[in-house]
Structure 1
Amino acid sequence: MDVPAAHSTTAFPTFTEALDRAAARRTAPAVATGAQEWTWADLRDQAGRTAAVLHRHGLRRGDVLATQLPNGWELLVLHAATARLGVVMLPLHGGYREHEVQSLIGQAGAVALVAQGSYRGRDRVAEILAVRDRCPSLAQVWLSGDPRGGDLTSSAELLSQEPAGGLPAAGRDPDAPLLLLASSGTTSKRPKLCVHGHRGLLGNAAAVAADGGLGATDTIVSASPLSHAFGMLSVHLALVTGGAVGLCDGWSPRRFLELLTAVSATAAFAVPAQLRDLLAEVDGGTDARPPATLREVRTGGAPVSRDLAEHVRRAFGARVIVQWGMTEVGAGTYTRPGDPPELTATVGRPVSGGAVRVVGPDGVPVAPGETGDLQYRSPYLFREYYRAPEATRAAFTTDGWLRTGDLAALRPDGAVSYRGRADEVINRGGLKFSGLEVEELLADLPQLAQHAVVAQPDERLGQRSCLVAALREGAELTLDEVTAHLSGKGLATFKLPERLVVLDRLPTTVTGKIARARLRDMVPAAKTAEARR
């Protein structure tokens, strides 16, 4: 499905054409891991060889190749090689286990899989073999690393130095599918697969670069995996600008700071949870510091308090860009480099070429300052949910706006104030409020390592508010302390949490967002403290 009024007819390069241009413009290293570095020409040449190997194994235009690999050279080569061949890549999060991998490969009908044989010290060869046996579409599985323990082929052959040959002509259609990205699944239990084309992803990156003043002299490092749109944006930004990208293969605050220094990063991408980890590392008296070259920290995916943004500005000596986006959207709205610091309390304005509107239950736009349903439109949206035409149709209004499922309010200056997910609204006896509002007011409570405010069913009132928290090491917290903290900030009584659930750790997505669908399943049986009002 082509989204109404979404895709421009302006000429735009495919990934392969953009890579050729970047290779011609920049001869200096463009891809780095801290230990190794490569040029764009290295990527172009290796991608051609890898595409030839994939083609010899029967992969053809329109086929789906799944990957479950850490950020690194191998994954980036496969991205470029599948783009060259017209194969659609499905990058899977490293934390997915057998159930999720099997489900998503089944949804996509993937014909090949390239996966790492271990994850965070856990051997998963047996899981990969089980997925292969249970997914009839899989004709080929390559194992990254030593393939011992099974009859799997090493992915080393995909990085063969043999000359490329026997390749069909590269595709020239910028609207052809490039990636399948699984939605983050914060409020649903089964991710949907978003189809993204070359024009959408690279056009979004080009617009972000133009809006943010990023160019060929920038080196961007993202803490997010390339299986997520936020992580992929860092690669695509470097590609379309002819700049450089640093690849971080797993989350460690110290190693991330070291990588920023090793590649002389000018921009760092990290979600708020990761920023707090970085601040703890920097403030902890260690020698790990952000490099002097760093001038921008881009964040999103969870609320960013003014205190957090200001702390980052002071500690990193860099401006803070706050971004809102979705797997379907990419970078949708964000603050700009010249915005005053107080705008970090918003998620900025739409990407150039994009637009937002906030509507009420009747679908009519509400007045500035009023909360309503956030709808979005841009030339860079996903094309469709893979093999799910009904879900695709349901995602859009009849006049072509994406129903985001988020709540927001528009400021008179056009900036968007994010109000949380529509399904996070708590309805206490007819009085409705967003759990996000309460979460933001709790962000400075020192005992909290993680927290979320969710609705719990109640026979009399319909729903009551529940705070679910993971505490910092050695900390204790009571419900009375929580309500006193919130009351001291002037929060209305009906919005105060009436239940406190303490867990060892809250479930999260790979980018640090609270996985609320899984959280709701965990809460009913948990030990709690309660208060009735």
Structure 2
Amino acid sequence: MLEGFVPFPEDFARRYRERGYWRDRSLAQEFSAVFARHAPRIALIDGERRYTYAQLDALSDNLALNLLALGLRPLDRVVPTLPNVAEFVILYFALQKLGCIPIAALVTHRHAEISQFVRLAQARCCVYPASVREQGGEFRFAPVIERIQAEQPCLQLRLVLGEAGPGEHSLRALIERPAAQPAARLREIRIDPADPCIFQLSGGTTGIPKLIPRTNNDYAYNSRVAAEVAGVTGDSVLLLVLPIAHNLPLACPGIQGFLFQGATVVLHANTRPAEMFALIERHGVTHLKVVPALLIRLINDPAAAGARLDSVRQIQSGGQRMQPEVRLRTRQLFRNAFVQENFGMSEGLLMFVRPDDDEEVQLQTCGRPVCPDDEVLLIDDEGREVPDGEVGELACRGPYTLRGYFGVPEYNARQFTPDGFYRSGDLMRRHPSGNYIVEGRKKDLINRGGEKISAEEVENLILMHPAVQNVACVPMPDAAMGEKMCAYVVLKQGAALDLPALTAFLKAHEIARFKLPERLEVLPDFPVSTFGKVSKKTLGEWIAARLADEARAAAAG
């Protein structure tokens, strides 16, 4: 067993097997049957490139064999930071065939995040594009990964999507170059279905993200049951523009769930509405995955007026709560689509609204669990269940919810109850229908368009600025993104700081751009709670009120 991994207790594992949730097959075995059953069908579309199930199988076989020749072995950890391209999918299945564990990093991550992932997981391999465009120019990954390799001796392999430089291997060459070993060599690899198949990333409140081990057994079930509840069939076509390694696009039901059903996944690397509308028309897209911020852009874009969108049957929204007005306007644009609110966490539990829920339930709730054996409690600070209808912290356990983060036993002792319920930090209330309503969160997070930002992580960096005495980062409301980050600072005597200077300072620390504060407020001191702590609640109310005043002033003239 991988050191640092917390397995499911044996009595629960036995129950999940007996009830058919776990089939004791690795993801490689699960998809071997899928690839054979749907061999001639189109599995994947990326621009002008189309891949059948058989081709996806053969290319991932070949890549796996070439990675095996480079020394990768079962349970080795790999950090891919790739955009929404076919190479990610081929790599993902190649790693599953080897029993390697990908870490669900993003193409927007930079040195601060990637180096943490490598260190935490003791990763042996990084996979990255040669460069990506970003505001202000082009970002090249190689110098960053070279530095991480020098800092972390565990990192031995660097694979690049693009022209390979010194010390790098070309990912495309490894996919296309005939392997020296036969594909039968992969069938000799033994993968324990109870072992992790991926490390998803927590949206934790600490500066260091936690690694979420998802096992072969639980991740396969996660995708199968999500596909069932989301109405995925062999005729379904998914347009995927959300970051491909996130839990929702990858597995809820995502790529895994759609391929389980013999469906087609269309990949696209940006969220421009006009391009999305064109892809929907061209490919007869039936399913979309969005966050509310993206959905708001779609329904307000001028290109929507002339778009033919009748093929869309379901729009799955996650990442943050959708306002009822957004849902109602979406129905006007996508006339044949069911807008499915859902609540999900990379740690496991999924809740989906169902098509047969009453109108009020669809508009007000985030759904209910997808599995009969999802156990949900709403608890107070002492761990006691709150009365029905009152707000409590969501705690859960079940056949696809983790039993512990990777390698952090002390943290796990705080985040899990003695009987194995995961304390999520999300505040919820149970609706009389049995669905749940999100009421907020206990965690200190900013939810920017579905990307969870740890306030503590950014605060720790801002405190390093020579002008800053104290800092508190809080969410501020935003019509498009849901929330953005406002940094409140107390400056040292005689010091000055503006937002461009703060942004430049944070960029020098190489964090992902979506974590940068988008407003700076300077105060002489912070408000405090009755316990003497900085009152972020008060700060949040202040910035919300100021934004409302500014909006009223702008409207008045």
TM-score, reference length from structure 2? 0.76
Deviates more, 1:451-460 or 1:169-178: 451-460
Deviates more, 1:289-298 or 1:448-457: 448-457
1:472-527 deviations in whole A, cap 9, x for unaligned? xxxx975546799xxxxxxxxxxxxxxxxxxxxxxxxxxxxxxxxxxxxxxxxxxx
Measure how far apart 1:96 and its partner are.
0.8
The verdict on how the C-alpha distance between 1:357 and 1:58 changes in structure 2, with shifts beyond 3 A counting, is: same
Of 46, 49, 52, which residue of structure 2 is paired with 1:36? 49
Secondary structure at 1:328 match in 2:
coil
2:74 touches 2:191 (CA, 8 Å); kept in 1? Answer: no
| Residue 83 of structure 1: aligned partner | 96
The verdict on how the C-alpha distance between 1:328 and 1:134 changes in structure 2, with shifts beyond 3 A counting, is: same
The verdict on how the C-alpha distance between 1:221 and 1:140 changes in structure 2, with shifts beyond 3 A counting, is: same
Matched, 1:338 2:338: no
The verdict on how the C-alpha distance between 1:85 and 1:35 changes in structure 2, with shifts beyond 3 A counting, is: same
The verdict on how the C-alpha distance between 1:103 and 1:454 changes in structure 2, with shifts beyond 3 A counting, is: closer
Measure how far apart 1:223 and its partner are.
2.5
1:333 touches 1:349 (CA, 8 Å); kept in 2? Answer: yes
Q: How much identity, in percent, do the aligned residues show?
A: 24
1:85 touches 1:168 (CA, 8 Å); kept in 2? Answer: no
| Residue 267 of structure 2: aligned partner | 247
* Cα distance in 2 between the residues matched to 1:12 and 1:195: 17
1:272 touches 1:303 (CA, 8 Å); kept in 2? Answer: yes
1:433-480 deviations in whole A, cap 9, x for unaligned? xxxxxx999777x9x985579999414766352349999xxxx97554
Of 89, 112, 125, which residue of structure 1 is paired with 2:142? 125
Secondary structure at 1:268 match in 2:
strand
| Residue 322 of structure 1: aligned partner | 341
* Cα distance in 2 between the residues matched to 1:95 and 1:249: 12
Where structure 1 has 5 or more consecutive residues not aligned to the other structure, the ranges are 426-438, 485-533
Task: Name the aligned partner's letter for residue 203 of structure 1.
Answer: Y
Matched, 1:134 2:147: no
Task: Name the aligned partner's letter for residue 134 of structure 1.
Answer: E
* Cα distance in 1 between the residues matched to 2:272 and 2:303: 17
| Residue 225 of structure 2: aligned partner | 207
The verdict on how the C-alpha distance between 1:441 and 1:296 changes in structure 2, with shifts beyond 3 A counting, is: farther
2:200 touches 2:211 (CA, 8 Å); kept in 1? Answer: yes
* Cα distance in 2 between the residues matched to 1:3 and 1:483: 54
2:77 touches 2:123 (CA, 8 Å); kept in 1? Answer: yes
* Cα distance in 1 between the residues matched to 2:485 and 2:377: 27
Task: Name the aligned partner's letter for residue 130 of structure 1.
Answer: R
The verdict on how the C-alpha distance between 1:108 and 1:250 changes in structure 2, with shifts beyond 3 A counting, is: farther
Task: Name the aligned partner's letter for residue 105 of structure 2.
Answer: L
Measure how far apart 1:319 and its partner are.
0.9
Q: Aligned pair count?
A: 461
| Residue 51 of structure 1: aligned partner | 64
| Residue 174 of structure 1: aligned partner | 193
Task: Name the aligned partner's letter for residue 7 of structure 2.
Answer: D
2:393 touches 2:428 (CA, 8 Å); kept in 1? Answer: yes
TM-score, reference length from structure 1? 0.79
Secondary structure at 1:376 match in 2:
strand
The verdict on how the C-alpha distance between 1:333 and 1:457 changes in structure 2, with shifts beyond 3 A counting, is: farther
1:453 touches 1:468 (CA, 8 Å); kept in 2? Answer: no
* Cα distance in 1 between the residues matched to 2:151 and 2:103: 18
* Cα distance in 2 between the residues matched to 1:25 and 1:200: 22
* Cα distance in 2 between the residues matched to 1:293 and 1:468: 42
| Residue 458 of structure 1: aligned partner | 527
Superposition pairs for residues 256-267 of structure 1, below 5 Å?
256-267=276-287
| Residue 391 of structure 2: aligned partner | 371
* Cα distance in 2 between the residues matched to 1:147 and 1:161: 15
Superposition pairs for residues 447-526 of structure 1, below 5 Å?
450-451=483-484, 457-459=526-528, 463=535, 465-467=538-540, 479-480=548-549
| Residue 379 of structure 2: aligned partner | 359
Measure how far apart 1:189 and its partner are.
2.2
Secondary structure at 1:38 match in 2:
strand
| Residue 401 of structure 1: aligned partner | 421
Matched, 1:235 2:252: no
| Residue 24 of structure 1: aligned partner | 36
Of 125, 128, 143, which residue of structure 2 is paired with 1:115? 128
Matched, 1:300 2:318: yes
Measure how far apart 1:124 and its partner are.
2.7
* Cα distance in 1 between the residues matched to 2:311 and 2:268: 18
